[in-house]
Amino acid sequence: MACPETGNPGKVVLTASQIQRMVDRLAHQILERTSGARGTVLLGIPTRGVPLARRLAERIDAFEGVAAPAGTLDVTPFRDDLTIRPARPALPTQVPSGGIDGCRVILVDDVLCSGRTARAALDALLELGRPASVQLAVLVDRGHRELPIRADYVGKNIPTALSELVRVALSEVDGRDEVRLHEGAS
């Protein structure tokens, strides 16, 4: 599939089976670092962080028999780039019925780059309640941080040039699972 920004098809850097293995590994890491994920809530950042959070919750339940509730956290109103990015409709934030107060919240996103989305997610999260702690899980970390933010759980580090673009496709949104690297985006 061609990249809308560049028109080139890009290079597949992660296949569907590799993504599945990364989700499994991330779920295992979460279980290990959270002593079985009890008291953990997963909040996916739209768009592709939402299905990733659901997949992680399913794998945690399959591996440990522990329900880690998954929800969504729309960060659109909290972004600092609303004047320079194309507007997109706000998506509903859906917090699991038990809320987040006193819970360990793991924010889930597809790609970590500048850290600005994660910063916006922290602001959005604090509007909802007071979690005991907040962690970040991402499928891809491509570097280029502008803020002092790091992920606690990373599926794959993919060093990129600023001119490159990482595109994650997930079956729930795009009909297929893959990660492509596109040259010449800016």
pLDDT by residue, tens only, the chain of 186 residues: 555 555 668 999 999 999 999 999 999 999 999 999 999 999 999 999 999 999 999 999 999 999 999 999 999 888 877 666 666 666 788 999 999 999 999 999 999 999 999 999 999 999 999 999 999 999 999 999 999 999 999 999 999 999 999 999 999 999 999 999 998 754
Residue 2 lies in a domain: no
- Residue 52's pLDDT is 98
- Residue 6's pLDDT is 54
- Residue 2's pLDDT is 53
- Residue 1's pLDDT is 56
The domain of 150 spans: 11-81+91-177
pTM given for the model: 0.92
- Residue 56's pLDDT is 98
Residue 49, exposed/middle/buried by CB under 10 A (0-12, 13-18, 19+)? buried
d(CA 46, CA 180): 19
The DSSP H or E segment spanning 59 is helix 49-64
The DSSP H or E segment spanning 21 is helix 16-33
Residue 182 lies in a domain: no
Which residue shows structure tokens 């699972």? Answer: 177
Alpha-carbon 145 to chain mean position: 16
Residue 109 lies in a domain: yes
Residue 6 lies in a domain: no
Residue 185 lies in a domain: no
**Neighbouring residues of 134: CB distance < 8 A, sequence distance ≥ 6:** 104, 105, 106, 107, 122, 125
Angle between helices 49-64 and 16-33 (to 10 degrees): 60
- Residue 185's pLDDT is 54
71 close to 95: Cβ distance less than 8 angstroms: yes
Is 102 in a helix, a strand, or coil?
A: coil
- Residue 99's pLDDT is 93
Domain count, the chain: 1
40 close to 32: Cβ distance less than 8 angstroms: no
- Write out the two tokens for 7: 């028109």
d(CA 178, CA 17): 9
Residue 104 lies in a domain: yes
Residue 19 lies in a domain: yes
Residue 43 lies in a domain: yes
Prior bond to 40 cis, omega within 30?
no
Strand arrangement of the beta sheet that strand 11-14 belongs to: 11-14, 178-182, 165-169
Q: The domain spanning residue 170 has which CATH number?
A: 3.40.50.2020
- Residue 72's pLDDT is 97
